[in-house]
A and B are shown apart, each in its own frame.
Chain A
Amino acid sequence: MHERADRLPAGLVTFDDELEREFEARLVESSTLAFRVAFGVLRHREDAEDVAQDAFAKAYRSFHQLRDRERFRAWLVRMTWRMALDRQRANRRRASREAIVDTDAAPADTVDVLARERAERLWLAIDALPEKLRLVVILAGIEGHNMKEVAALLGVPEGTVKSRLFVARNELRARLSWMATETR
């Protein structure tokens, strides 16, 4: 990156350096956000890191095209979300193929089984939500985002976020209570 910049004329290098400094700042402030968005879809740490890396690389390639740099986080969230969904679909296809061969993998962990089951049910309920509601739930659950921040990340009015979150929570409660009664 810097080697290539060294070969360029001085004026251009200055501009390039500015751009890279700006990207570095965005990377530091948004890395956890991207990771958590990916984790909210994939629930697998390594996969989430891979997807977040890919999203940052993609963002880097197109960073110069982003007119409003203040929209970087929203842009990154959308990219990460899409890429995580793609990875999830690929993982599901692979898992369905591997399940035929390896049916009794992943033995039960004895540590805090109840908490794990509860979290598992929560994620199942979240996964069952429509995509728009799911994204709102995850963004609202990340880094203490309030309605305004979620609205800014999604590029939708705050009222839309409120209504989506309201509907999503109601659906989640209904599903979780149904799951709870099913397991009893």
Chain B
Amino acid sequence: MDGHRDALKDDPLARDIESALRVEPSPQFVARVRARVAREPLGATGVMSWPLWLGGAAVVAGALALVVSLGGPRDMRVSDSTPSTATSPPVLEASRGPSIATEPVLPQPLVAAPVQRVTRRAVARIGPEETRTNDVGLPQVLIADDEKRGFELLVTELRDTKRAAAVAEATRGLTTPGPPWLEIAPVIIEPLREVGIAQGEAQ
């Protein structure tokens, strides 16, 4: 205690102030404060959770980076690892008749599979089962349904060797006569004369 403090104690005014402030809280005061504090949200939450916040922020940043990398301009590259059988066109499924249902083989060029954007990176990260595809909205079927159906029948029958042999036998002697009324005279092209010189001389 310094000398000034002792001097203050000697001051009657200071003594009056001290005695006026010498008031004790009730004995239950600290217990009530403890109870009140216990009802408060945990003050340490912020401190405790800062590693959690940091981890969460890292996870969110990683997810954002992944989304940005997948949605960036590299997605425009079409990978050669496009799974052609991953999506079969629904039109083809609906048009298959019962006779060819057991042989669902169809040449690929007939029906254009939905154009898929497959990023190699995405395939590598996600795995072979979860190939990420993006439909760009191009038409799926490039030929008419009846033509396709006919071609399917043809393909199916050609695979049947007996029928193929029969078809070959039947078509062997066939000729294709042209229309009798159409006669085309042979076109004779004469060599050009020196018209330009003659015209120049006339002028």
- Give Cα distance in the complex from A35 to B28, angstroms: 13
Min CB–CB distance A67 → chain B (angstroms): 11
Check A23/B30 contact, CB under 8 A, given A49-B25, A169-B13: no
Is B172 close to A, CB under 8 A?
no
Min CB–CB distance A10 → chain B (angstroms): 12
Would B8 and A52 count as touching, CB distance under 8 A?
A: no
Q: Which residues of A contact B37 (CB under 8 A)?
A: 1, 23, 27, 56-57, 60
Would A122 and B16 count as touching, CB distance under 8 A?
A: yes
| Chain A interface size, under 10 / 10 to 19 / 20 to 34 / 35 or more | 35 or more
Would B23 and A45 count as touching, CB distance under 8 A?
A: yes
Is A181 close to B, CB under 8 A?
no
Q: Which residues of B contact A45 (CB under 8 A)?
A: 23, 25-26
Q: Which residues of B, 8-42, contact A by the 8 Å Cβ criterion?
A: 8, 11, 13-14, 16-18, 20-21, 23-26, 29-30, 32-34, 36-38, 40-42
Number of interface residues of B (CB under 8 A): 35
Q: Which residues of A contact B51 (CB under 8 A)?
A: 12
- Give Cα distance in the complex from A19 to B40, angstroms: 15
Would B34 and A27 count as touching, CB distance under 8 A?
A: yes
- Give Cα distance in the complex from A39 to B18, angstroms: 12
| Additional A-B contact list (7), CB under 8 Å, known A19-B47, A140-B8, A147-B5 | A1-B38, A35-B29, A56-B36, A64-B45, A119-B16, A137-B17, A141-B20
Give the interface of B toward A (CB within 8 A): 1-2, 4-5, 8, 11, 13-14, 16-18, 20-21, 23-26, 29-30, 32-34, 36-38, 40-48, 51
24 contacts between A and B (CB under 8 A): A16-B44, A16-B48, A23-B37, A23-B43, A24-B34, A27-B37, A31-B29, A32-B24, A35-B25, A45-B23, A48-B23, A48-B25, A53-B36, A60-B37, A61-B40, A62-B43, A64-B44, A122-B17, A141-B17, A141-B18, A146-B5, A148-B2, A169-B11, A172-B13
Give the interface of A toward B (CB within 8 A): 1, 4-5, 8, 12, 15-16, 19-20, 23-24, 27-28, 31-32, 35-36, 39-40, 45, 48-49, 52-53, 56-57, 60-65, 118-119, 122-123, 126, 137-138, 140-142, 144, 146-148, 162, 169, 172-173, 176
Which 3 A-B residue pairings sit nearest by Cβ, starting from the closest? Answer: A64-B47, A141-B17, A35-B25
